Amino acid sequence: MRKLFIAGNWKMNKNVKESVSLAKSLINRLKDVQDKDVVVCPAFTALSQVYEEVKDSNVKVGAQNMSFEDEGAYTGEISPRMLKDFCEYVILGHSERRQYFGEDDEIVNKKVKKALEHGLKPILCIGETLEERDGDKTFDIIESQLKKSLKNMDKNDMKKIIIAYEPIWAIGTGKTATPEQAEEVHVFIRKVIKKSYGDEIASELRILYGGSVKPDNVKTLMEKEDIDGALVGGASLDAESFSGIVDF
């Protein structure tokens, strides 16, 4: 049985004070949640204080990105060694990183490897553009992103990785994939993983859906067999809507 996993990606929003206040409100609202893993991913600047706020609660902390280097002369970068102080998870290969900051599957692969080396659990994001979907390329794109980003991962690595399927056309647009559209891709992802890593790894793998998840659409998505949670952007910035999503 796969435990549902709900993560909030706060993106480039909220200063330290606002982040701590949201974290406070969430731990209070979500204190009785046992049946789901709940993770918040604040900006780097707020990680330390959000961690202090939630560390004795059932809410865990993740980062939104990281360097593929351990340390050194890489101005402006944050390494997995630094994140380990506060984070259990790290989002990698988010489409906004791919789109605006030139991250490709090769870079994402290096980051996934580095995260695992430092004991961080990657939330690996993949997803197609609208153009690719309209051109019937969704499955090819998904398969290629999976193969390249997971290059050289073994079964043990796969046990620690979470995949987030985020169709780019559904991110921040208010256009959610239908539960059927999402489920179809989730089933495909599990099939691709099964081919390379076997049935056991594939059936344990948690595959999240991301893209305009809201309190009023989360339930029908989560009812699908192969949708094991959500990666939430906009609706995770408000305590009431994020706790509504967790507690659907």
User: Tokens representing 182?
Assistant: 């999402």
Antiparallel, parallel or unpaired: β 162-165 and 121-126: parallel
Antiparallel, parallel or unpaired: β 162-165 and 207-210: parallel
Q: How far is the CB of 100 from ligand PGA (least distance, A)?
A: 12
What gap in Å lies between CA 179 and CA 186, rounded to an integer?
A: 10
Within residues 74-113, the interface with ligand PGA by CB under 6 A covers none
- Determine, following the binding rule CB under 6 A, whether residue 65 of this chain makes contact with ligand PGA: no
User: Tokens representing 103?
Assistant: 């991250």
- 213: three-class secondary structure by DSSP: coil
Of the listed 94, 96, 103, 132, which one is catalytic?
Answer: 94
Q: How far is the CB of 156 from ligand PGA (least distance, A)?
A: 27
What gap in Å lies between CA 231 and CA 229, rounded to an integer?
A: 7
Closer of 89 and 197 to ligand PGA (Cβ):
89
Look up 186 and say whether it is catalytic.
Answer: no
Q: Which residue is nearest to ligand PGA (CB)?
A: 233
Look up 166 and say whether it is catalytic.
Answer: yes
The DSSP secondary-structure symbol of 107 reads: H
Of the listed 53, 96, 103, 166, which one is catalytic?
Answer: 166
Which helix (H) or strand (E) segment holds residue 96: the answer is: helix 95-101
Q: Which residues of 129-139 are buried (b: 16+ CB within 10 A; e: fewer)?
A: beebbeeeebb
Closer of 19 and 236 to ligand PGA (Cβ):
236
Q: How many residues bind ligand PGA (CB under 6 A)?
A: 13
- Determine, following the binding rule CB under 6 A, whether residue 233 of this chain makes contact with ligand PGA: yes
Return the range that interacts with ligand PGA (CB under 6 A); candidates 53-61, 80-88, 145-153, 206-214: 206-214
Q: How far is the CB of 75 from ligand PGA (least distance, A)?
A: 26
How many residues does the structure list for the chain?
248
Among 172, 195, 200, 219, binds ligand PGA (CB under 6 A): 172
From residue 14, give the alpha-carbon distance in Å to each of 165, 203, 236: 25, 37, 12
Q: How far is the CB of 166 from ligand PGA (least distance, A)?
A: 6
Among 128, 166, 183, 228, binds ligand PGA (CB under 6 A): 166
Among 232, 239, 245, 246, binds ligand PGA (CB under 6 A): 232
- Determine, following the binding rule CB under 6 A, whether residue 210 of this chain makes contact with ligand PGA: yes
Q: Is 227 within 8 Å of 184 (Cβ atoms)? A: no
What gap in Å lies between CA 68 and CA 81, rounded to an integer?
A: 11
Q: Which residues of the chain form contacts with ligand PGA (CB under 6 A)? A: 9, 166, 171-172, 210-213, 231-235
* Residues tagged active-site: 94, 166
